[in-house]
Structure 1
Amino acid sequence: MTSPQNETVRQRLIVLGASNVAKSLEVLLHVAPEMIPQPLEVYAAIGRGRSYGTQSKFLCRRLPGILESELWPSLEKVSGPVKTTSVITDIGNDLLYDRTVDQIIDWIEQCIIRLRTTEGPIAITGIPLAGVRSLAPYKFRALRAMMFPSSNLQLVTVQQRAEELDARLQAFGKEDDITFIPQKPEWYGFDPIHWRQAKRPEVWHTILSSLGHTMFDYSRVRSNFFHSMKHWMTRPYSRTMFGIEQSQAQPSIKRGEHLTVALY
Structure 2
Amino acid sequence: MNQAMLTALYRQSSPVNRIVLLGASNLTLSLRLVIQQIQHHCGGPSEVLAAAGHGRSYGQSSQVLIRELPGIIACDLWSQLEASDARPTYAFLTDIGNDVLYGFLPHQILQWVTWCVEQLQKHSAHIVMTNLPIVSIESLPEWRYQLFRNLFYPSCQLSRNEAVERARVVHQGLIELAAHKQFMLCGQKPEWMSMDGIHYVYWKRRVLYQHICAHFSASRDQADFAGTKKLFSQNWQQRPRFAYQKVFGKERHCPQPSGLLADRTMVSLY
Same topology, TM > 0.5: yes
Aligned position for 1:238 = 244
C-alpha deviation, 1:163, in angstroms = 1.1
The DSSP-based 3-state class of the residue aligned with 1:14 is strand
- Residue pair 2:16, 2:88 contacting (<8 A) in 1 also: yes
The DSSP-based 3-state class of the residue aligned with 2:128 is strand
Out of 14, 25, 31, the position equivalent to 2:31 is 25
Aligned position for 1:193 = 198
Structure-to-structure mapping, 1:51-90, within 5 angstroms = 51-79=57-85, 81-90=86-95
Unaligned runs of 5+ in 1: 1-7
Supply the distance in 2 between the matched residues of 1:151 and 1:109 (Cα, whole angstroms): 24
Unaligned runs of 5+ in 2: 1-13
Out of 107, 118, 121, the position equivalent to 1:116 is 121
Aligned position for 2:6 = none
The DSSP-based 3-state class of the residue aligned with 1:245 is strand
The DSSP-based 3-state class of the residue aligned with 1:210 is coil
The DSSP-based 3-state class of the residue aligned with 2:213 is helix
Aligned position for 1:172 = 177
Supply the distance in 2 between the matched residues of 1:175 and 1:261 (Cα, whole angstroms): 31
Please list every run of at least 4 consecutive aligned residues from structure 1 whose deviation after the TM superposition is greater than 3 angstroms: 213-216
- Residue pair 2:56, 2:98 contacting (<8 A) in 1 also: yes
Equivalent residue letter for 1:154: S
RMSD of Structure 2 on Structure 1 (CA): 2.4
Supply the distance in 2 between the matched residues of 1:60 and 1:189 (Cα, whole angstroms): 25
Change (3 A) 1:176 1:154: closer
Structure-to-structure mapping, 1:105-184, within 5 angstroms = 105-175=110-180, 177-184=182-189
C-alpha deviation, 1:214, in angstroms = 7.3
Once the two structures are superposed, residues 195-247 of structure 1 have per-residue CA deviations (whole angstroms, 9 ceiling, x without a partner) of 1112211232222221215799x9xx79xxxx9xx96xx52110001111101
Higher mean displacement: 20-29 or 124-133? 20-29
Once the two structures are superposed, residues 176-207 of structure 1 have per-residue CA deviations (whole angstroms, 9 ceiling, x without a partner) of 64111111111113231001112211232222
Aligned position for 2:262 = 256
Out of 38, 42, 53, the position equivalent to 1:36 is 42
Q: In percent, how many aligned pairs have the same letter?
A: 32
The DSSP-based 3-state class of the residue aligned with 2:148 is helix
Higher mean displacement: 201-210 or 154-163? 201-210
- Residue pair 1:12, 1:84 contacting (<8 A) in 2 also: yes
Change (3 A) 1:52 1:176: closer
C-alpha deviation, 1:121, in angstroms = 1.6
Supply the distance in 2 between the matched residues of 1:113 and 1:31 (Cα, whole angstroms): 24
Answer yes or no: is 1:203 the counterpart of 2:208: yes
C-alpha deviation, 1:33, in angstroms = 3.3
- Residue pair 1:53, 1:67 contacting (<8 A) in 2 also: yes
Corresponding pairs, count? 246
Q: TM-score, normalised by structure 1?
A: 0.86
